[in-house]
Structures are given as C-alpha cells and as structure tokens.
Amino acid sequence: MFQKNRFKAGKAAAARTDCSTAALTCNACPAGRELTPGATPPACRLCAAGSISAGGLLAAKPTCSACSGNKTTVGANRFTCSGCKPGFGGPSCDVCKRGFWSRGGTATNATACRACPDGTTTLVEGSTAPAACVDATISTPCVAPSCI
C-alpha cells in the first residue's frame, strides 16, 4: 500500500519511502529531481549538474532549471545553487581576475580565486587551473589585427 504524507517538499532525505520507484515518491518528485517526460509509469530523474528543482507533485510536472549567473550545484546536491562555476570564486562567485584562478566549488571564501605564483599571471580572466599561470614577461594578450 502507498504511504501517504511521507514526502516533504524540499527534503532530500524524504526521497525514498515504501511507495518509491525510480525516485518517485507517491505522487511527487523529491527536490533535486524532475518528472521524466513520457515515462510510463511516471518516474522522476535527477537534475543534471548545474540544474536544480524544488520537486513537487506530478500534476505540476516539476522540471529542473539551470543555475543562474556564475553559480552551479556542488556534488550530488541538485536543489540549491550553492557553488561557483570554474573560473569564479568567493561568496558571490565573482570572476577571477588576471593573475588568479579557481576550480570552482562551494561558494564561500574558501573557494576564493587563488593567486598565481610570483612572476606568473594568467592571460585572461576566469582561469580555471594553476596551469593557466604563465611567465608574466610573455603574457600580454594579443589583440587582432596586431597579432602576427
């Protein structure tokens, strides 16, 4: 038998009950999942990385939405955009300036853009790895048509 009122919107922990199949919880998709289009019987699927869903009743056809701006999802979390995309850092997920880089991650000061080692810089803003740090004496970006 189906267990009623076991699903609490927004609570990932309530994703499984006795009436769950394919992450379908009674008549609702849990947070972080959307209704799979055309699935018979109805099923819910996990939102793709960088997308979130509050979940909801099947009749409302819950869908996933892309995180806005420079934000993304972190790990298996698909119900809050709590991380920064690579090349962005800090609590506001600001773009890393020239001379800095970030792999992205949880949007905190701990994911601040990291400075390149002394004597090196990045060629562009938004660098995503320390390998983007190059010798500062040869790092002036070339702007066409003056590039040869």
What would the pLDDT profile of 75-106 be if each residue is shown by its tens digit?
888 999 989 999 999 888 999 999 999 998 88
* 112 assigned to some structural domain: yes
pLDDT score of 40: 84
Structure confidence by residue, pLDDT tens digits, 113-148: 999 999 999 999 999 999 999 998 864 556 555 554
- Quote the percentage of the chain above a pLDDT of 90: 53
Range of the domain at 134: 82-138
Q: Residue 93 and residue 86: Cα distance in Å, rounded?
A: 9
Q: Which two tokens stand for residue 80?
A: 């809050």
pTM here is 0.67
In this structure, are 107 and 131 located in the same domain?
yes
> What is the distance, to the nearest Å, from the Cα of residue 48 to the centroid of all Cα atoms in its chain?
9
Asked if residue 57 and residue 18 are part of one domain, the reply reads yes
Count of domains in the chain? Answer: 2
Domain assignment present for 6 = no
CA dist 1 → 4, 24, 29, 100, 123 (Å): 9, 15, 18, 57, 62
Verify that 59 and 92 share a domain, yes or no: no
